[in-house]
Amino acid sequence: MKGRIINLNGGVYKVILDDGNTISVKARGKLRYSKQYIQNQKSDSKKMAPQMVKLSPKVGDIVTIENDLISSFETRKNSLIRPDIANVDQILLVFAAKNPDFSFLLLDLFIINIIKNKINPVIVVTKKDKLNELELNELKNKLSYYNKLGYDTYFVNSLESDGTELVDKILDNKITILAGQTGAGKSSLINALIPGFNLETQEISEALGRGKHTTREISLYPYKNGYIGDTPGFSKLDLLGIELKELKDLFVEFKDCHCKFNDCMHQEKSLGCQVIENVNNGNILKSRYDNYIKLYNELKNK
């Protein structure tokens, strides 16, 4: 039998089979580890050494089931660590317009992690009703820069289902997961997209100014010939597996800049740096460049 994993809880995988039925199974023991060749990080040698690496099925995997056990899973087109999920088509980055305040640093951190894994990011701004007209227009103007980079942006009020119909149109026949700012209303957005679904939600803690984690495990739910999933909320995302030298290439607008030196890292004192020129003349958003410098310094300090 073949199917797709839609939930993992306590070592038990819930799988939707090709015939539409759902079963719960465990994975065969030999799936737990696999010999892979990895460069020794503690040595200057470029030789690849064999290591036993833990290799388990993930939510989103297409699996084969034999004798009531998962015996194998198909090659993944992508695989994330946080959230721990595979074969994702797009990620809705859900950020609140207010309460909690919109964080462009966190947005850029999400985007570079997502495009590194060759997944399409889509920005969804919730709670647009919390801003007055002037504040909303300022946020839209700033996010229009991200639109020009190719990242579609939607503004919604999930409680009133205002704007959610536009988001709904991009979900057909895709595996979509929601990630982003803690307390931004990811579960509320799913509830608005799928009326009557009633995924657990929780209000922002006013005392802390941040959300409480209402989602405790990763699950995919069949929707519009595809799947939609909520993921555990978190407020800080690490620079997972990103090398210092590749960071600049994950800021897509930098790629069109032709600097004097090929190895230019686009620092403020870089000579002949076209990125700096484009920041100064307004072609590159200053706050986005500032976020690049913050992330660059964080990686450099590591």
Q: Are strands 69-73 and 2-9 parallel, antiparallel or unpaired?
A: unpaired
Judge contact between 6 and 25, C-beta under 8 A. no
Would you state the CATH architecture of domain 244-301? Answer: Orthogonal Bundle (1.10)
Give the rounded percent of residues in the chain with a pLDDT score beyond 70. Answer: 81
Q: Verify cis geometry, omega within 30 degrees of 0, for the bond prior to 83.
A: yes
pLDDT at 80: 83
* Bridge partners for 5 per DSSP: 15
pLDDT at 193: 85
pTM of the model: 0.82
Would you state the CATH architecture of domain 90-230? Answer: 3-Layer(aba) Sandwich (3.40)
Query: DSSP labels for 39-93?
Result: E-TTSS---EEEEEEE----BT-EEEEETTEEEEEPPPS-B-SSS-BBS-SEEEE
pLDDT at 202: 40
Instruction: Tell me the domain boundaries of the chain.
Output: 2-73, 90-230, 244-301
Q: Where are the beta strands (DSSP E) in the chain?
A: 2-9, 12-17, 22-27, 33-39, 48-54, 62-66, 69-73, 90-96, 120-126, 153-155, 175-180, 219-223, 226-230
pLDDT at 37: 55
Contacts of 117 (CB under 8 A, 6+ apart): 78, 79, 80
Q: Which residues of the chain have pLDDT under 50?
A: 200-215, 233-236
Q: Where are the beta strands (DSSP E) in 138-205?
A: 153-155, 175-180
Distance CA 219, CA 249 (A): 32
Contacts of 172 (CB under 8 A, 6+ apart): 224, 225, 226
Q: Which amino acid is residue 29, in one-letter code?
A: G
pLDDT at 149: 95
pLDDT at 240: 67
pLDDT at 33: 57
pLDDT at 40: 58
CA angle 195, 196, 201 (to 5 degrees): 95
Contacts of 241 (CB under 8 A, 6+ apart): 81, 116
Dihedral angle computed from the Cα positions of residues 10, 31, 47 and 250, in that order, rounded to the nearest 10 degrees? -50
